[in-house]
Structures are given as structure tokens and as C-alpha cells.
Chains A and B, each alone.
Chain A
Amino acid sequence: MNPLKPKNSSQPDSPTLEIKFKELEERYQRLFDNLGDEVHLWKVVRDSNGEIENWELVDANPSALKAWGQKRKEVIGKTAKEIFGEGAIHQFMPLVRGIIESGETSSWTEFFEPTQQYLSMASVPMGEYFISTGQDITEQKVREEQLKESEEKYRHLAENIPGIIFQYRLNTDGSDELLYVSQAVADLFDVTQEEALDDLSLLQSKVIREDLIQFFEIRDASARDLSPMLAELRLAFPNQIIKWLSIRGTPTQKEDGCVVWDCIGLDITARKQAEQEIELLNQDLERRVEERTREIQEVSKEREEALNHLKETQSQLIQSEKLASLGILTAGVAHEINNPLNYILGGHSAILQHIVENDNISKEELHEYLRWIKTGADRATQIVRSLNQFSRSGDRFDLECQLPEIIEDCLMILAHKLTKDTIITKSYFSEDITIIGNDSRLHQVLLNLIGNAIDAIEGSGEIKIKIEDRNDNISIIIEDNGYGISKENLNKVSDPFFTTKPPGIGTGLGLYISKAIIQEHKGALFFTSEEGKGSTFTVQFPKRQSK
């Protein structure tokens, strides 16, 4: 039986017709056998009620047999249930009933479990028969699935990447458009994906104008060189909200001359804010460092000025102490020299009187006047010699200093300060006591200490000056019975600038400088005092310096 033979042509009218028919049949048979698609002819099987319950294979072409893995003789005449099992009947029953009852062709795609095939099927009903054709689209289907999977993967990637992904095209006429933009555009621009794709200007209007101009410049350069496009844009929103967008795009030139960029855009607002904060902090820090530096410079300048001022004051005060010493010296010298000068001038006047009046003068009388002159000259000489001791040494510390002589020089200079009611007693362990040091400065020390003792005495009193040989030391002790030093002042008297004398009289540096000079001689200064009873100052020099 030939399934393709038209029903109404089963009886050929003539041999010519028969030959033609034969040719036609052969052509169809060839088509049937060689067709890549499956082709199978079925006859429906009805139950006792006339209901379709199965269908029976009338013929199947080699492609079908190959797909089923069956041999022709084993399946021809068998039902679908026998060939494919119960499942196939259930799967296709609605279809078969549908086409047979409606008489209309149906086509569909189906995964056919028994053969593990995706089939693009078409069934054509012909009375109690139907022809099914099936194209194996398994490979195509798998490719589609893979593509779908891949697309899904990329879509997922595009939608979930932190930032926006977009494809941007610059046309040769200068117009531009978005080919694709991921959904994240809504978060960043407050414009939906659809709106953005529809109208790019919605996005561009959010960009701060100068940034947009700059972006176009960067874009044009990227299009010209086909170099990566790197841009940072600020997006402005209501309420002064600014977002920063960093764009990176890779350009590709298309055949028509337009350029398409595959781009990623990242929201870098947080980073920019952090950078700005850091920048502000840095500026603040720089400002504070600058301020602090200036303050420190000012303070150190002030300190330097204060120090200079202090040094200046100190040198002024040391100078004034020197002047005060000089004052004592000159006052002493004035008085001590004025008297001898009086002798000299008196003697001179007496002799002159005799000459002027042409009066004879006896040898004895003349001798007397010359004695006045000699006495005066000797005393003046002695004064000047003593005075020299106060200034001759310079900075040398290797001079032999005769302590009794120094004391005598000082007493000479201080004589004018002494009332005749102040008794000075001296007791030295020897007449020849020397230490090695600076003669002038030792004069200054003893002038100061003896001068203080004299100042401490009101009315009458006694000053004892002793030089003692005490084991390893030589000590000069100056003891007065003057008004003494109060307990509260006792530990202040050698402080610089401390004085109880009226301003202009005492500088407060006498003891301070004396102490320094004594220390220069490796010596020490001690003192005890009781208010109302007097003071004792002891200058102690190490003996190894004595000769």
C-alpha cells in the first residue's frame, strides 16, 4: 500500500496516466525515503464506542526509523502504544483526537521523552489516517537554551553589578543615543531604564553643565583615537544633592563610521565626599599647623626678645653694680685725696705767703711746710696705688693676691664711710697670706663685704676682720655687730637684685656678684646673721691655691 497515493487516483484511467502516476509515485517515494525530516503515516484505532484509543503505524520513512532506533518490519502495523509505550498515547491523544475530529492541520514543538528529542511537529489528518512530520530541532533547542542561559547570566550581571552598564553610540552626524542601559540607571539618575533608553537628554540634563562639556571633549577625543574614555561627572539634584559618577568606556568603530562605547558607570560620591573631607581635614590641618607654627615663631620671637631684654637688663645692672662700686671708690678717693691735696696746697700757700710778703722764713718753718706737702703727696700716692688694685688684673686668675693688703686697700677706700666710732679690729694668722687668683675681683669681693658690714652699723659698732687657717682652707671672716638680717631675708640676700637698701643706693647685685667671683676662685661664701645682733660672712678659699 502506498500511503501517498491519492485516494481518488487509485484507479488510473489509462496506461499513460498510469505511467505518469507511477513516475509521480516513485518521485514521492524517493522524497519520502530521502527526506531528512521524519515522516510517518498513522491510522487511528477506535474502541467499541468509536472513540480513538490508539493509532497504528502504516509507514515510516528511514529518518523516522533512525530517530526511533527501530527497524521497519518491527514497527509497521504496530500501535503507538506498542512502539512508544503508554506515555506517548497520553501525550498525543488530545492532539490526534483534535486533528481527526476537526480535520485541520496542527503544528507544535514537543520534547519527546522516548527519543530524547525536541521535535518541531506537524500533523495532517486524512480521514482515519494522519501524517506526522517531525523535524529534530534538539540541537537548535539546546543552542537556544544555552543562549537564553547566557543572556540570563549577562542580564543578571548587568542588573546586579554595582553601578550602571551602558552602551552608548555617537553617530557620524554628531547625534548620540543609548543602545542599552542597565536598571541601575534609576538609582543613580532617578530616571527609569525605559525613559533613559527613550530619551538620553533626560540623563544629560542631570549632569552639571561644565562637566557635560568636559565629557563631550573626552568622548570626542576617545572617538578620534579609539582610546579608552575616562570621565568623572557631577550630577545635580534638588536640595543641593550632588552625586559623582565615574565613567569608563571602551570604544569600537562600526563599519558605518559611528562609534559605540561599552561603558561602566560607578557612583563614586562616597569616595569623593571622603576625598573632600580628607581635603578639608588636610586644609584644616595645614591651617592649624601654619597657625601653630606662627604661634611658636611668635612665642620664640617673644622669648628671644624677652631674653635679649633680660640680657640687656642684666648687663645694665651689672654695669650699675660696677658704677655703684665705682661710686664707693670715687667717693672714697675724693675724700681721701682732698685731704692730702689740702696739705699740699696749704704748704704751698704758706711758702708762697712768705715769698710774696718778702718775709724771712726760718729753716724749721720751711721744713714744717714741706712736711705738710710730703705727707699729702705720700697719702695721695698710697690712695692711687690702692685704687689701682681694683682694676689692674683683667681676666687673669694666676696672680698672687695678698689678702691683708687687699683688706687694707678696701679699708682705705671705705674710710670715708667709717665714723670714728666704728672700731675695726683685725686678726690674721700671718702677715703674709696669699692665694692665687684675680686680685681686682678679690678687691671687689672684700670691698663689698666690708662695705656691707659698715652699712649695717648705725652709730657705733665693731667690725672684726679675721683671716684664719682652717685645715684645707683659708677663711676670711667679716663680723659686724650691726642690725643683722631678718630670717625671711637671710636666704634671699645672695639672690640677684635683692636689696634692702633704698633705690639708687644698692643694686642688689653686690653679694650675687661676690659669690660668683668667690666660686670662680673655687671658694665658697657662708653667712650667719641674727636680726639686731649682727652678721658674719665667711669667705673660704681652698688652701691648694695658697702659696
Chain B
Amino acid sequence: MSSTKKILYVDDEPINVLIFKKLMSKKYEVVTAADADEGLEVLSAQDDIDFVVSDMRMPGKNGLEFIQEAKENHPHLKYFILTGYSINQELQDALDNALIVQCWTKPANFELIDGVLSGL
């Protein structure tokens, strides 16, 4: 279990992407995308991704719509949301339906994220 886990992080805000990459790259291999479509492309192109973490509000599809679609082709992956909003009904439903494993809010607590991901 020494192989490094791979995370796809999807967020339309460039600084957020940079931060995620900077703070998670020590333990994980991080690939990023700026929106849902780009994220789906990355998933299709790379079959070694373990976790998908997505922002909620993005141009085009939002985070859950993206995950819904991604899960059809990649059901074995673990999906997460990292959002600036508090958890609303839509996110709660996604948790209840096990569409996503967890939902985190911004500002992100990267120690917590690491704790969850390393336990899986």
C-alpha cells in the first residue's frame, strides 16, 4: 500500500486549484480540471484515479451533476464535494444516496481531508 493515491480536483477558481495542488501534493498525486466537462475528460483519459473532489458551483454542470455523470462510467471511485456553501438539501440527498462519501466546506481543512482520504 505504498503506492501514491491519485486525486482529481475540479474547481473553476484558479487559486483554489493552486492551493489544493500545493497542499495535497505532498501525499497524493493531484490532477485538476476547471469544470465538469474537463473533469470527465481527465477521468476517461486516466484510469488510475482513486478520489474525485469537486467544487459545487461551476459554469455548466455543477459539482453533483458532474459526479452523477462521472459515476456512471467510474462507479468504483470515491467522490467528494468541497464547497463554499453550507450543506444544503441537494448535498444532503447526495450524501444519503451515497453519491458522495463526504462533503467539505471552504475554507478547506486539508488535515481533515487528508485524514479521511488516508483512511480509505
Contacts and interface: CB of A to CB of B under 8 A. Distances in A.
On whether the two chains bind one another, the answer is: yes
Given A342-B107, A345-B107, A420 B19 contact: no
Interface residues of A, number: 25
Contact of B106 (A331, A341, A375, A416): A341
A353 B23 contact: yes
B84 A338 contact: yes
Q: Is the interface of B mostly helix, strand, loop or mixed?
A: loop
Contact of B84 (A334, A346, A368): A334
B58 interface: yes
Contacts, number: 70
A349 interface: yes
Contacts of A338: 84-85, 105-107
Interface in A71-88: none
A204 interface: no
Looking at B23, B84, B86, the one whose CB has the most chain A CB atoms below 10 A away is: B84
A334 B107 contact: no
A342 B23 contact: no
Contact of B22 (A336, A346, A375, A420): A346
B7 to A, nearest CB: 16
B13 interface: yes
A375 B13 CA distance: 12
B10 to A, nearest CB: 14
Interface in A301-344: 331, 334-336, 338-339, 341-344
A347 B85 contact: no
Given A342-B107, A345-B107, A421-B59, A334 B15 contact: no
Nearest to A376: B15
B57 A416 contact: yes
B86 A421 contact: no
A373 to B, nearest CB: 10
A361 to B, nearest CB: 11
Given A350-B22, A353-B23, A421 B106 contact: no
B26 to A, nearest CB: 7
Interface of A: 331, 334-336, 338-339, 341-347, 349-350, 353, 368-369, 372, 375-376, 416, 419-421
Given A334-B86, A339-B16, A342-B107, 14 more contacts: A334-B84, A335-B57, A338-B84, A339-B13, A342-B19, A342-B84, A345-B108, A346-B15, A349-B19, A368-B18, A376-B15, A419-B57, A420-B57, A421-B60
6 contacts: A338-B105, A343-B15, A343-B16, A353-B26, A376-B15, A420-B59
